[in-house]
Structure 1
């Protein structure tokens, strides 16, 4: 091992300085100047070490060449070090910019929400005032009777308005809570990236400090330079600045997807924070105890699901909030329910399969019920041969859409009087199963076992939605706030049900957003329903499964 040259005072001969260096570096074993560097043993040695202990196959290099090479290697890394340090400094600026951009974007959403809810609250109050004014004007015509009626209506109006105000305020609280949750996720991720980037900068600073220190002594330089070079190469290989920058781009992209969506669905106001892909999480499982073979037929409110018993055609309603299931209609052998939808908070429309047609009209295939499931009226549509099933939905204007299977006509019907106001005829296609109304006014119609077609009111074709991965029992449901389509299908390789999210243009956005096993209790595939509040409700044949979407980065 090398050490300082012994001085004259120590009783040894003074060794001369080498080639311009104030060189007092000697061999511990022989006390002679360090002359060579053994490449096999990676140690500096004197002439005697070279002669006695480091003959071939050892390869020897001049120590000054080694020193020069080590200095050169360190010097060559300096531009890369400086360039990398500048990249990290730029990332630091980008962190600040993305953080500021995300905060501003979410603040904009909050301001929009504040304005929306101020307007909604004002609108509810204005409607209340206007209604009371109308009621008062009507009451002037017949003092006693109308006054009694007026007081009752005012009370009902106040109760209804108060209910709507409470619902709107609760919804406002929920949406602000959702934006705060998203903000917390964004801030947490940005803090993690900030710490990661600063850690990388600290490593770079430590390496620079080490280089400065080892450059002061040749012995230290020779012994420690390989480790420093390895540390530099490892730091450059990790490419932390690139990873942080990519993560920041993702944060900005995902944050900018976030938006507030609002719409009146079936006469009720709904709003939520949406727009992002997120991750669907199972939050509740609701058992359906009375139903022998459950088959989901539709959604009649944000938390009420209609479930038919395929074995005896009974109809049940399960509340996913209270987890209570109630039988509402006793089944009969010649009829079962195919579909149902709410027209408003008071009326439900149901489509049916029947086998007892007696004329050219499909009588009793469409029925309006009140919320106590008492029949309001039956609605008929023309029968033109075809199948015995009629599917229904309700469009954005509260009109009933009804279609018979194996036919090309879709009838737009006024629920107030049962009259057909328009007939939509598909070009070259026939109804196979469900029909769904989009908020745009277009329709999504199942036209084969694995195909769904988007059509305008003119009956043309806007998009054909299909996938080779879907099986012949695929079902479609529409989120009426965002027009996102959810296709439920049997995933053979995985042996479970899966749901794909698809746009109304036919683009598959995400495969298998939720997956669940099939129960032995029922062989029937049910649609995964999208509730107005933004949740998904699937059915595995035994339970209703409630999924909520979480914002993730």
Structure 2
């Protein structure tokens, strides 16, 4: 119930001037504020009747509305508290409520000591429980501390074990590192020794050439010195004779004869020019990084070719044909009759079968590196199936994809391959008019994905094409003709000699020298001409070797050049190994 005052009310307690809502103290018989009434606690209080008026209408409070739980004046009852509000006389409500409170007051007063005692018991019990919980907490904390200490000890043991294991591994790693470093240093020392050996070989070859040139130049210089001395003697004699008529008559004939002999003596100016030209042709050729199997070499000069060895091919190879070099110390030979592939070791001179020509036959090969050989094949199938990569044991690295259609299967392809100075693969079907440039690293992923460029070759044969270090390509062109084309297919140089016939040729990939094999039927010999790819100059018959009268000699065989510059020729029965030497 809320009621207000329409005037300011001041507490009537002495010394208290609070202005607030007042209550009437029955025992004090005066109006007090809530604070003073609580302090006096002299008995039941009631609100001052004199001050109990409606805040809204400033009329005395008459009724109590049960529904709204508030005291109201007559105006409130008339205006806002009509039915269904249940209105009761405010005095009756006060009397009724006082009686109810007076009835319950003794029970409350008698209950208070009991509850106070119970409260004391509760406090003691609560303190005991709190102490008990403190004891339990102390036990838990002590146990936790013990557990933590135990876990710390376990962690220490574990950390110690981890540290010991790590240190053991570190020692093992350090040991392995030291062994690897030692092995690496040994390998480095070995490689350095190998480089020194190669350097000494190259330096020895250069010194040998230098010595030959020096010897030749020494002879020319000595001869020039001799001629100069004789000329000076003739000059002195003639000048002396011209001073005496008697000497002039007697010695003129002899002086003229001696002078003419000296003047007609060859001072070898031509020889000097020849030696100088030949000496300046000597160059150091470094192997391309992509060609691991290639060797550094002193070359570039014409020189003279000397037969250093021969190897007979076994009669078990019915119709042998030279395919190409495999690394530094072997050549591959194909049996044209069976399609089987053989490998001839140039040192041991043994010939072993390495592949049976059942489905496909290898017709060209070139070493990509010391462990990988690239081969071109004759077989029915897709173009990509005719390109094979083989490891050192001649096991295939890439297999045919088997995705060709029946039409492709029925078509036989004959693919020739080569590798350029950057390591890219070049491949072409001899019936096609273009050469594909292929990335070897992508070849195992798929043929189409591996093609990086295609060189168009119009009106020329790609059979047996060869790549130059510059990237240009040598192809056959007409009868006895060779064309040097760039990567766009444009002809940069054309060389033709009708004696070459079908122009069976090979290229030294280090020096770009072209070697063409042809027949000299009158002498029953094969001859090799050397061709310069850039100038088109031809050096005739740099070497010759005999034809074979065997039935196995059915056609002119191609030649091959090893990384060391050994020129290998074949007459159907025998391999001939030629080495070039410097001739001043």
TM-score, length of structure 1 as denominator length = 0.65
* 1:147-203 CA distance string (max 9 Å, x none): 999899879867765654343222101110011111111111122122212222332
Deviation at 1:483, TM superposition (A): 1.6
Alignment of 1:58-457 (within 5 A): 161=188, 164-208=191-235, 210-211=237-238, 221-238=248-265, 240=266, 243-264=267-288, 266-268=291-293, 270-289=295-314, 290-332=316-358, 335-354=360-379, 356-357=380-381, 361-362=382-383, 364-378=385-399, 388-418=413-443, 419=446, 420-448=450-478, 450-457=480-487
Match of 1:74 in 2: none
Cα distance in 2 between the residues matched to 1:294 and 1:180: 40
Distance 2:369 2:268 in 1: 50
Contact 2:319 2:336 in 1 (8 A): yes
Match of 2:80 in 1: none
1:314, 1:327 within 8 Å by CA — same for their partners in 2?
A: yes
Write the distance in 2 (CA, Å) between the matches of 1:506 and 1:389: 31
CA separation in 2, counterparts of 1:414 and 1:436?
Answer: 17
Counterpart Cα distance in 1 of 2:523 and 2:535: 24
Note the C-alpha offset of 1:391. Answer: 0.7
The corresponding residue for 1:505 is 534
2:90 is matched with none
CA separation in 2, counterparts of 1:291 and 1:163? Answer: 40
For 1:66, the equivalent position in structure 2 comes to none
Unaligned runs of 5+ in 1: 1-141
Partner secondary structure for residue 198 of structure 1: helix
Provide, for residues 110-157 of structure 1, a one-character-per-residue CA deviation record: whole Å limited to 9, x for no partner: xxxxxxxxxxxxxxxxxxxxxxxxxxxxxxxx9999999989987986
Residues 423/220 of structure 1: CA separation in 2 closer, same or farther (3 Å cut): closer
Give the alignment partner of residue 575 of structure 2, picking from 527, 540, 544: 544
SS of the residue 1:457 aligns to: coil
Rounded to whole Å, the distance in 1 between the matches of 2:293 and 2:217 is 38
Residue in 2 aligned with 1:106?
none
Return 518-527 or 255-264, whichever deviates more: 518-527
User: Residue 508 of structure 2 corresponds to which residue in structure 1?
Assistant: 479
State the distance in 2 between where 1:146 and 1:391 align.
Answer: 50
Mapped to 1, the partners of 2:409 and 2:185 lie a distance apart of 49
Query: Is the contact between residue 485 and residue 503 of structure 1 (CA under 8 Å) also seen in structure 2?
Result: yes
CA distance in 2: counterparts of 1:259 and 1:520, whole angstroms: 40
Say whether the 8 Å CA contact 1:340–1:349 is kept in structure 2.
Answer: yes
Q: Kindly state the Cα deviation for residue 326 of structure 1 after the two structures are TM-superposed.
A: 2.1
Q: Per-residue deviation at 1:262?
A: 0.3
For 1:350, what is the secondary structure of its paired residue? strand
Deviation at 1:223, TM superposition (A): 4.2
CA distance in 2, matches of 1:162, 1:451: 50
Secondary structure at the aligned position of 1:308 is classed as strand
Structure-1 separation of matches of 2:313 and 2:244: 80
1:482 positional shift: 1.7
Tell me, what secondary structure is at the counterpart of 1:185? Answer: helix
2:293·2:368 contact (CA, 8 Å) conserved in 1?
no
Q: Which runs of 5+ in 2 are unaligned?
A: 1-168
Q: Residue 328 of structure 2 contacts residue 564 of structure 2 at CA under 8 Å; is this kept in 1?
A: yes
CA RMSD in angstroms, aligned pairs only: 3.4
Structure 1 residues 483 and 370 mapped into 2: Cα distance closer, same or farther (>3 Å)? same
DSSP-derived class of the 2:199 partner: helix
Distance 1:248 1:524, change over 3 A: same
The structure whose RCO (Cα within 8 Å, separation 6+) is larger is 1
- Residues 156, 476 of structure 1: alpha-carbon distance in 2 compared, 3 angstrom cutoff: farther
Q: Distance in 2 between matches of 1:202 and 1:152?
A: 71
Contact between 1:299 and 1:340, CA under 8 Å: does it hold in 2?
yes
Deviation at 1:252, TM superposition (A): 2.4
